[in-house]
Amino acid sequence: KCAFDPSATVSDTCISYESINAINDEIYTLLQSLTIESDFFSYYRLNLFNKECPFWNDESSMCGNIACSVNTIESEEDIPLVWRSEELSKLEGPKANHPPRDLREKLPKESPLQGKLGAGVGESCVIEYDDECDDMDYCVPEDEGSTGKGDYVSLVDNPERFTGYAGEGAHQIWNAIYKENCFLKPIEEEFQEQSLHVPLGGLEAVSDFRNVLQKESRKESLRPDGLPFDNECLEKRVFHRLISGMHASISTHLCWDYLNQTTGQWQPNMQCYKERLHDHPERISNMYFNYALVSRAVAKLRKHLKSYTFCTSDPAQDFDTKQRMNQLTDVLARPPKIFNEEIMFQDAAAQGLKEDFRNRFRNVSRLMDCVGCDKCRLWGKLQTSGYGTALKVLFEYDETKNGENPPYLVALINTLGRISHSLAAARSFHEAFEAGHEHA
Ligand code: FAD
């Protein structure tokens, strides 16, 4: 069986679900230990509360369930050192590459920041610069539209799972993502919308996407269910699959870690999975597609990551993190290549299309500020940032060039961790269906 419909494939060969599952078996435990046990990857800083939805008034769609809430870290002391030093490193200064082995050692004399990161902090630690979005990025800066730099959150203490967030508010977001930001809006709706045009802030910026390119082929290229026909251009299909795959991964997690309201137990819910995924095999395929895309981006960073040192305040843990990252990229960089980014954005209209693609993706990120459930917003923001990073690495990043800014690794690796977990959960659900346990 092919993981990807051959007519929609972006890889040279037809990769089977089994072969992707086999790769996942090799890296699943590594990824879980990286994202759960390492301080470097298990904390995330973001603007969770003080950014307004830039597109509509979302006050009425807030989720009041306790499961929607997020515990943030209030005290500086509970934040791993590397992230505290990040705050301090906002001072202008060069980035260095070779940290001292032992962070307790004295800083080298030629330390570029002259100790400004604080005593005992290697100046060449990998630092996540989250305010460096530029025109070539697929993300929006976390401080866009807000005053502060945000809150620190432990991802382990706030797992992605069922929250009860549903209904109109949640649908409005998914609708906006699919109907406004995808290349796939049916022509009749576009027509209606033009006559009822409401200013939508940032969304307007990308509604220019109704460019000639699309109009030419649109009528013939949409099926009644909004999915593209095979003649839809490759890049548009990729965009759609990416969004649908992300949605499918979120749905898998909420069905996997579901609250049984009768018993109060958190457990997998077969019916939930059946309705949202099992009965829609294309959504599962899109999830595998995302796995291939993000894995390829991480593989592309292999060389770059070899020279990284992850420094928190615990050298033994940092050593483990480095070893695990090396193992991870070694597995992912092995042939065959399961996603071939080189065939995208190649024809004459490529540059405009790429910009369009990038702008739309940024809008999907902005839509995350409209999500009315804190925990869903946390994971939605992290994952859009992770996919945005993957796209940047695939389409803008030159692996042969030294001195490129490091990408947003925390979001990228956690996003891969999430899809890896989704694939494993989907497989368990599938096996339970095969064994006839539908009613479990
Ligand atoms: P929805 O999942 O809301 O889907 C709406 C419609 O989209 C469906 O009717 C279907 O036509 C279409 N659709 C569904 N899946 C796909 C797909 N994969 N590809 C293409 N089309 C599709 N809830 C939680 O419990 N925990 C969370 O962590 C969580 N995170 C969220 C993050 C974001 C960014 C958003 C917007 C919502 C989140 N939610 C979360 C809510 C959750 O996604 C659903 O919206 C909610 O459970 C209601 O589900 P539903 O069955 O009405 O369909």
Please write the tens of the pLDDT for every residue from 310-340: 766 677 888 899 999 999 999 999 988 888 8
Asked whether residue 228 carries a pLDDT value surpassing 70, the answer given is no
Q: Is 61 in the pocket of ligand 1 (CB under 6 A)?
A: no
Q: 313: annotated binding-site residue?
A: no
The backbone torsions φ and ψ at residue 267, rounded to the nearest 5 degrees and listed phi first, read: -160, 165
Q: Please give the Cα distance from 140 to 294 (Å, whole number).
A: 19
Average confidence (pLDDT) over 2-13: 49
C-beta of 285 in contact with ligand 1 (< 6 A): no
Residue 181 is predicted with a pLDDT of 54
- Mutate which of 247, 274, 421 to test ligand 1's pocket (most atoms within 8 Å of Cβ)? 247
Angle at 242 between CA 240 and CA 246, to 5 degrees: 120
pLDDT value of position 402: 60
Question: What percent of the chain stands above pLDDT 70?
Answer: 66
Element (H, E) at 258: strand 258-259
Q: How far apart are CA 116 and CA 123, in angstroms?
A: 9
pLDDT given at position 113:
39
Lowest mean pLDDT: which of 14-18, 40-44, 384-388, 400-404? 400-404
3-state secondary structure of 153: strand
Report whether residue 171 contacts ligand 1, using a CB cutoff of 6 Å.
yes
Whether 272 lines ligand 1, by a CB cut-off of 6 Å, is: no
Residue 225: its pLDDT value, please?
38
User: At 44, which helix (H) or strand (E)?
Assistant: strand 43-46
* Distance (Å) from CA 165 to ligand 1 centroid: 9
Residue 254, ligand 1, Cβ within 6 A: yes
Ligand 1 pocket, residue 284 CB under 6 Å: no
251, 253, 421: residue to mutate for ligand 1 pocket, most atoms within 8 A of CB: 251
Whether ligand 1 lies within 6 angstroms of the CB of 163 is answered as yes
Cα–ligand 1 centroid distance for 384 (angstroms): 15
Confirm whether the ipTM is greater than 0.90: yes
Q: In this structure, are residues 421 and 32 in contact, taking their beta carbons and an 8 Å threshold?
A: yes
Clarify whether 125 is annotated catalytic: no
Which of 53, 125, 182, 373 is catalytic? The answer is 373
Stated pTM of the model: 0.81
pLDDT score for 317: 84
Q: Is 163 annotated as a binding residue?
A: yes
* H or E, element range at 352: helix 350-367
Q: Give yes or no for residue 28 having a pLDDT over 60.
A: yes
Rounded to the nearest whole angstrom, what is the distance from the C-alpha of residue 234 to the centroid of ligand 1? 25
- Give the count of alpha carbons within 13 A of 333, CB side only: 16
Within its chain, how far is the Cα of 52 from the centroid? 21
Lowest mean pLDDT among 45-49, 69-73, 112-116, 312-316: 112-116
**Rounded CA gap, 402 and 343, in Å?**
24
CB count, 10 Å around CB of 248? Answer: 26
Burial class (CB in 10 A: 0-12, 13-18, 19+), 66: exposed
Question: What are residue 53's DSSP bridge partners?
Answer: none
63 included as an active-site residue: no
Mutate to test the pocket of ligand 1, among 53, 155, 165 (most ligand atoms within 8 A of CB): 165
Residue 355: which of 208, 255, 160 has the closest Cα? 208
Q: What is the pLDDT of residues 81-128, one digit of tens each?
A: 655 545 444 332 223 222 333 332 333 333 433 444 455 544 445 444
Q: Does 244 show up as a binding residue in the annotation?
A: yes
Side-chain half-sphere of 199: how many Cα atoms within 13 Å?
A: 2
Is 295 annotated to bind ligand? no
| Mean pLDDT over the full length of the chain | 75
Considering only residues 119 and 225, tell me which one the structure prediction assigns the higher pLDDT: 119
Alpha carbon distance 358, 202 (integer Å): 14
- Start-to-end CA distance of the chain, whole Å, equals 27
224 pLDDT tier (thresholds 50, 70, 90): very low
Residue 77 has pLDDT above 70, yes or no: no
Q: Residue 126 Cα, ligand 1 centroid: separation in angstroms?
A: 35
Could you tell me if the CB of 174 is within 6 A of ligand 1? yes
Ligand 1: which residue has its CA nearest to atom 31? 376
Ligand 1: centre distance to CA 274 (Å): 14
Report the sign of the C-alpha dihedral through residues 224, 225, 231, 234, in that order.
Answer: positive
